[in-house]
Each structure stands twice: as C-alpha cells, then as structure tokens.
Amino acid sequence: MNSLTRTMKAKKYRIALIEPSILLSEGLKAIFHAHPEFEIVSYSTNIPHFLERPTAVPPDIILINPMVIDFQRQNHVRSVFSAYPGALLVAIVYQFIDQDVLKQYHGSITVFDDPRKIQKKLNHAINTTHGAPEAIDNFDLSDREKEILMSVVRGLQNKEIADMHNISIHTVISHRKNISRKTGIKSVAGLTVYALLHHLLDQDEIE
C-alpha cells in the first residue's frame, strides 16, 4: 500500500522523442521502459511529423536530435517549439555540435551515456530549470550602487568601502556584482570609463 501511494504520487515525466535513427530511438525506448518516472508519449523522426500530431497533454521533455532542425533555425530552437513553452529541451548528441547551438537546450545526452547517466542528466535538467532565477530587467544603477561605483573607481578596497558606508564587506561585494551585471563591465578600469561617460566623475579626479 505504502509503496503504491508513493508511485502514484511520484511525478511522471512525459517525453516526446524526435530522432531519425530507429536504432537509437528503439534503444532509448528500452531504457525508459526500465525507468517508470519517464514515459515516451510521442515518437517522431522529424519536426513536421511531431508538430502535426499534438499529444493530449503537452510533453514535459522534448528529447531531440539537434540535427533534425534545419540549419537556418538551429540558433532559434526555442522558436521551433514555441507551442510548448513549458517543455524542457534536451539534445541527443552523437556528433560535433556547435556549443552555441547546444547552449539553447536545457541539457544534453550523448550516445556514450549509460542508462543511469541518461536518467541523471534528465533529472539534472529538470531540477536546475525549475530553480532558475527569474529574468531581471532593471538595468539602472540605484543611488547606492552609484556611490559604491564611485568608491571603486577612486581605487578604494572593499574593506575601505565597507567602513566608509557602514556596511559589511559582503554587502559591498554584492553591490559590486550587481553593478557589473547591470553595466556589463567588470574591470575597475572599465568602470572608470563608464563613470566618466556618465558624468559621474571628472578626469582630473582620477589623476
């Protein structure tokens, strides 16, 4: 009874498989057969076939060989599956694939992975994606960040900045991280240019 309720409660991940090779797809089906938390709900050898046959409930994971996506759209993989915004994209890799292309996927498995590793990689993709932070869209520096920026540009060390503003070193570091994230500039020399171009600083001040 106990074990039954546990299996019923456990989330089952629905996988749509898009892979032209019969050998590979049969192998993957056999592997997932042994792992009840994954279920292959649709199988296609190409994209049009997949898109024409929507499943009743959308898949949680789209397991796809990146090579089935035509070249022009390889850098816009998400747009191909815009009808499935909630699905994780996991690549099946068995040849060299450009890193930039692969970056668009939530994860990847290779033909050299054993069943345990495949399962682990899928779980990793599931867990890391759910925990991902929301996009941050405010890129203006706050007044506090501007003050910290000025201290950094004047060559003060984190400890000195912390004392001057009565905050902990930890807070200084976190401000500095936010400044670099917002401005896209990491080096002190680069931040100095930023401050000058934004009229926060006069040239003679740094000389």
Partner 1 sequence: MKHLLFSGKQKLSDLIHANYKLLLVLPRFNIKLGFEDRKVNEVCERYGISPHLFLMVCNVCTFDAYTPGRKEAEQLDIDGLILYLTRSHQDYREHRVPVIKGQLDRLLDYHDKKEEKSVRQFFDGYSTEVINHLHYEENTVFPYIYGLKRGIKSGQYHIKQFEKNHGNIEEKLHDLKNIIIKYLPDQGDAELRNQVLFNLFWLEEDLNRHTLLEERILIPFVQQLEERLNNTGEHE
Provide the binding-site residues for partner 1, judged by CB under 8 A.
95-99, 183-187, 189-190, 192-194, 196-198, 202-203
Minimum distance of partner 1 from residue 66's CB (angstroms): 13
49/186 with CB nearer partner 1 = 186
Minimum distance of partner 1 from residue 196's CB (angstroms): 4
44/65 with CB nearer partner 1 = 65
Query: Rounded CA gap, 173 and 106, in Å?
Result: 30
Minimum distance of partner 1 from residue 136's CB (angstroms): 17
Minimum distance of partner 1 from residue 121's CB (angstroms): 16
Extract the tokens encoding 89.
Answer: 């994209």
116/181 with CB nearer partner 1 = 181
Helix %, strand %, coil % of the chain (to 5): 50, 15, 35
123/180 with CB nearer partner 1 = 180
Minimum distance of partner 1 from residue 154's CB (angstroms): 15
With beta carbons less than 8 A apart as the criterion, state whether 176 and 185 touch: no
DSSP string spanning 150-180?
A: HHHHTT--HHHHHHHHT--HHHHHHHHHHHH
6/199 with CB nearer partner 1 = 199
With beta carbons less than 8 A apart as the criterion, state whether 183 and 196 touch: no
Which has the closest alpha carbon to 102: 184, 173, 94, 120?
94
